[in-house]
Amino acid sequence: MVTSQNNKTILFCLLVLGLVVLLAAVGPHYSAYDQKATSGEQFSPPSSAHWFGTDVHGRDLLTRVLSGARISLLVGATGALVSLVVGVLYGLISGYAGGWLDNLMMRFVEILYSLPRLIVVIVLISLFDQQAKTWMQHHGLAAWVPESRLLLLFAGLGLVEWLTMARVVRGQVLSLRERAFVQAARSMGQTPALILLKHLLPNLLPLILVYLTLTVPSVILEESFLSFLGLGVQAPYASWGTLLSDGAEMINPLQIHWWLLLAPASFMALTLLAFNFLGDALRDRIGR
């Protein structure tokens, strides 16, 4: 297959992603502006002073996008991790077991799906805000997560992000387990755990990978929805999701401050593009 091009793609994508993470981690330090610093230059378009322009408070957009990257990347990583670890495992077990266990496990998924996410997060915040604050101070996370409520938001999102992955993996396993090679392994007396890990998982990898690349944007946008309702990122901090929604509000026929949408959208698009192509290249590599 086109291995060398594959490798180049993988390397390139990793590079881009690494760059984004680096920018998110240290970019705001090196910026001339504090992401909270308001100024009189409202809504100025991109210029040499402000590469991505300014917003309604005169804050530098580039700095805000980079600071927002921290939260969005964290949210995305959390969603991806939970999806990967919990979702895949759950789906594997449910699909392979079949019968009553599958029924039971999928019904539990339905329960978590049906409970309104919004109220879960509201209750989580009201019940555990204090504990979350102390936990955060203990672990010194303040630089990356500006406040304790975000932690609870992650928890709330994490609770549901694995559900779809579980369902999709389960569907695939239902099909795969009837295949010849699985039957053969079973007749050879291999334990279910071994079958799952050695035979099924590799076949599921393409699907898992592509689904991961879909989970990340989905959870970033979910966070933006909750922030929009007042539960997530707090002013004056931002995330890509909130910057996107703020930018989208600016689109109207009278005056368009296009840079407010372009900045977060392009960073998000770049990251997701790299992520997606990486996933594809990995899939090509691992696949037959």
Partner 1 sequence: MTRGLSLLLAALLLGSCSYRPADVDFIFINGPEPQSIDPAILTGQPDGRIASSVFEGLTTHNSRGQLIPGMAESWKHDSNHLVYTFHLRDASWSNGEKVTATDFVGSWQRILEPATASPYAELLFFIKNAEEYQKGRLKDFSKVGVQALDARTLRVELKNPTPFFPDVAATTTYLPAHLPSVARYGESWTRPEYIVGNGPYLLKAWKFNDRIELERNERYWRKEQVRLRRIDALSVTQSNTALNLYLTGQADLIIDKSLVPPVLIDKLRTRTDFHAFTFLANYFYRFNVARPPFNNLKIRQAFSAAIDRQRIVNKITKAGELPATCFVPPGLPGYLASGGIDYNPSQARQWLAEGGYPSGQNFPHVELLYNKTDLNEQVAVEIQTLWREVLGVPVELKRQEWATYFKSLDDLDYDIARSSWVGDYPDPLTFLDCFVTGRGNNRTGWSNAAYDRILEQSSRETDPARRMAALHQAEDILVAQECPIAPIYFFAGILFYDGKRLGGIDGNLLDEHPLREIYWKDRN
Partner 2 sequence: MLSFILKRLLLTLPVFFIVVSGTFLLMRLAPGSPFGAERKLSPENEARLQQRFHIDGTLGQQFAAYWKSLGRGDLGDSLKYRNRTVSEIIGQTLPNSALLGLGALLLALGIGVVAGSYSAVHHNTARDRVTLLLALAGICLPSFVLAPLLILLLALLIPLLPAAGWGTPGHYILPMLCLGLPYGAYCTRLVRTSMLDVLNQDYIRTARAKGVSEPSVVFRHALRVACLPLISYAGPLAANILTGSMIVEAIFKIPGLGAFFVNAVINRDVFLVGGCVIVYFTLLVFLNLLGDILMALLDRRIRLW
Write out the residues near partner 2 by the rule CB under 8 A.
Answer: 2, 98, 100, 103-104, 106-107, 110-111, 113-120, 122-123, 126-127, 163-164, 167-168, 170-172, 174-175, 178-179, 206-207, 209-211, 213-214, 217-218, 221, 224-225, 229, 244-245, 247-249, 251-253, 256, 261, 265, 268-269, 272-273, 276, 280, 283, 287-288
SS3 call for 177: coil
Q: Is 7 in the site for partner 1 (CB under 8 A)?
A: no
Q: Output 158 or 236, the one with its CB closest to partner 1.
A: 236
CB of 254 to partner 1, least distance (A): 5
CB of 126 to partner 1, least distance (A): 7
Residue 114: contacted member of partner 2, partner 1, none (CB under 5 to 8 Å, by partner type) = partner 2
Residue 140: contacted member of partner 2, partner 1, none (CB under 5 to 8 Å, by partner type) = none
Task: For 60, list phi and psi in degrees, rounded to 5.
Answer: -70, 125
Eight-state DSSP code of residue 60: B
CA-closest candidate to residue 248, choices 232, 274, 268, 278: 268
* Measured CA angle at 6 (ends 2, 205), to 5 deg: 105
Q: Which of residues 17-56 bind partner 1 (CB under 8 A)?
A: 36-38, 40, 42-43, 56
Residue 57: contacted member of partner 2, partner 1, none (CB under 5 to 8 Å, by partner type) = partner 1
Q: Which of residues 111-170 bind partner 1 (CB under 8 A)?
A: 122, 126
| Long-range residue pairs from 42-51, CB within 8 A, at least 24 positions apart, any chain | 43/257, 45/257, 45/259, 46/259
Residue 106: contacted member of partner 1, partner 2, none (CB under 5 to 8 Å, by partner type) = partner 2
- Strands of 22-103 (E only): list them: none
Region near partner 1 per CB under 8 A, out of 72-80, 183-191, 214-222, 245-253: 245-253
Quote the tokens at residue 33. Answer: 């502006």
Q: Output 119 or 194, the one with its CB closest to partner 1.
A: 119
Region near partner 1 per CB under 8 A, out of 2-10, 164-172, 179-187, 226-234: 226-234
Residue 163: contacted member of partner 1, partner 2, none (CB under 5 to 8 Å, by partner type) = partner 2
Tell me how far apart the alpha carbons of residues 89 and 67 are, in angstroms, rounded to a whole number.
33
Q: Output 138 or 178, the one with its CB closest to partner 2.
A: 178
Burial letters 242-251, b for 16+ CB under 10 A, else e: bbbbbbeebe
Strand partners, 54: 60
Tell me how far apart the alpha carbons of residues 288 and 274 are, in angstroms, rounded to a whole number.
23
Tell me how far apart the alpha carbons of residues 109 and 89 are, in angstroms, rounded to a whole number.
13
Cα–Cα distance list, 72 to 47, 77, 88 (Å): 26, 8, 23
How many C-alpha atoms does 93 have within 13 Å on its Cβ side?
9
Residues that bind partner 1 (CB under 8 A): 36-38, 40, 42-43, 56-57, 122, 126, 229-231, 234-236, 249-255
